[in-house]
Structure 1
Amino acid sequence: MLKTDKKKICIVAISLSKGGAERSVSMLTHMLSRIGHEVHLVILVNQIYYSYSGNLFNLGISKDINGDTIFSRLKRFKKFRDYLKVQEFDFIIDHRPKNNYYRELFYQKYLYRDIKKIYVLHSSKQVLNTKDSLHRFIKIYKSNYVNIAVSNYIKNEILKANGLDNSLTIYNAYDPKWIDSDKISENPLNDKNYILSYGRIEDEIKDFRFLIDSFFKSKLWEKNIFLVILGDGKDKEELKVYVEQLKCSDFILFYPYTTNPFPYIYNSKFVTLTSRYEGFPMVILESLSVGVPIISLDIKSGPNEIIIHKENGLLVPNRNVDDFAKAMISLFQDEKLYNHCKNRASNSVEKFSINNISRHWEQLIKHAQ
């Protein structure tokens, strides 16, 4: 165990549901507990798909029982405030999306007052990236002890670009033990040769339709290669209908969300990312950590801070179906390139391991005044 002065820390998140940001919250509870801090996790929605360390205060249970009326919401906020007062935390680490000024003002002035605040920004699409109430949001962020960006793009182009010098980057982490997941080497698709894409199926953000079009254009399906889309979301059924009209429909397979995607990742030829925007995509980190190359669009933000082009995967600079199809063909046909990327995949992300990222959090908390 890493050693540091013990602090009492409250991590606040919407939930521990199915996304990469939620997995990173789970990882942070384990990291801070491992360092030796007393960790409390407060979630606002009763969804728990990932493990956590420390004490859980699940406000989502009250929401499920009493509904989400204004009166019941105020009661939950009072319970939350009473909990913070009784526990006397040294730090609040808040992972919620920040998109409503008056809500954030309420959190700052009522819930979090007199506690050192650390806000974590997980997405490159933040209110600070727009002009809507920008100056008021900046005042809130300036009052924080520090603002954590999960990528250098978010730190430099969103936070510091708006005068928030109390900002630094701490990347999301991966756990080397993922490679030891139960039966990771057993191909869940038997002997099928496949490309994988996974995540929340919301096409406005993840753009799975672009991936499907690129796969169709690549004609890899004519060589008995499958595209597997793993996950759930509001656009899944619509995408299935779209796929049914394509000649390659038999080679595009949909599988439900799983808390353990690693057998699917490990046995894929490579993983793809075609999102319109990200923060620090865990899909890339998870895949490379178990030795699987990536093909990703070079979007804002994150991919070009993890992927080294033609070293551990391929970065496609433009959202162009032909270009992405060519990248997929290249990683299949160029055996030398593929083996080069695969052999370097896991070592290329060593700096993002849970041990290394823990040290960044340790230093931040240790030097807090």
Structure 2
Amino acid sequence: MSFVSIALTLNSKTKIEWIPFPQIINLEEIAEGGFGIVYQAIWRNKKVAVKKFARSENSNTYFLNELRTHCKCCDCGCINKCYGITKDPTTEEYMLVLQFADGGNLHEYLKNNFSNITWKEKLNILQQISMGLRNIHKIDFTHRDLHSGNILHFESNLYKSFQVADLGLAQSENISNNEINGVIPYMAPEIFIGSKFSKASDVYSMGMIMWEITTGCKPFSNVEHDYKLIYEIIDGKRPKITEDTPECIAGLMIRCWDSDPGKRPSMDEIHKLLSKMKNEEFNGADQKRLELIGLKKLGPEYNEKPHSKAIYTSRSLSSYSNKFISLTKQDRQGYITREYEFDI
């Protein structure tokens, strides 16, 4: 039995199927990330995304991780749907066939529509993302690579939806390895000093996505993503919360990116809190939002020019972590000295 067929037996109720490669037509490359290439194609008269993992010693692992997570989450809401798997007969590479996101990713949506996105809609987006992550955590998996490029946007005449995607690094919270991959601004500080990925580190990433939805900007886009930024994040540096952010959102955001993983809320608590928030709590927020946009103080078009070495594709960061871990305890303490104050 092949490793693919083994993976498919993980969930007897899975709706994921084997798709013969000739059934997939009109393949066209649309994106390349840190761990693979995504194509758009046609299958059964509908547009789909076909994901091929980059050739590496870990490519089979990433493929299996994503497939395994989709098998366990096949009926979960707010997670990108996997229709099946296929195999390129020429390269003999396995690929995933996924639901196609006609609206691109979350950051693209924010960038193109920010001025028109009300606080009510921002809350709805956060509720959907939190539901997807809560469902991943319910099966005791962690995402491990959460950022706005991995949240996909779907739009029809009836609704807008946002789904958690790119599950290639997702796996059981109990599984630990020495490999660190991701995007620095979204990664929890404890990961860089030797802690394993956890549900709490996903929650930290969720806090950064919350901030991005409030501003339309990627966190720390104006600085180089290197050792210096990592040191500052470990030391408590966080993005500045905008003046229009309601206190209920700001307070939750701060809890999510707390330096102590034990003080962060669970995804279940986050989803419940977001679901209970009332429109009255946002009454003045939209007026303030429009005022700040009018003053050119809020929105991606008014943000500082991105640094040329701000990197928002997932990549290996093990060398950064290893360098920091190798420092003596006394040297590390020189960086971890304070908690930043946040103005709400």
Q: Tell whether the structures are fold-level matches, with TM greater than 0.5.
A: no
Q: Larger C-alpha radius of gyration, 1 or 2?
A: 1
With structure 2 as the length reference, what TM-score do the two structures score? Answer: 0.28
With structure 1 as the length reference, what TM-score do the two structures score? Answer: 0.27
Question: Quick one: higher RCO (CA 8 Å, sep 6+), 1 or 2?
Answer: 2
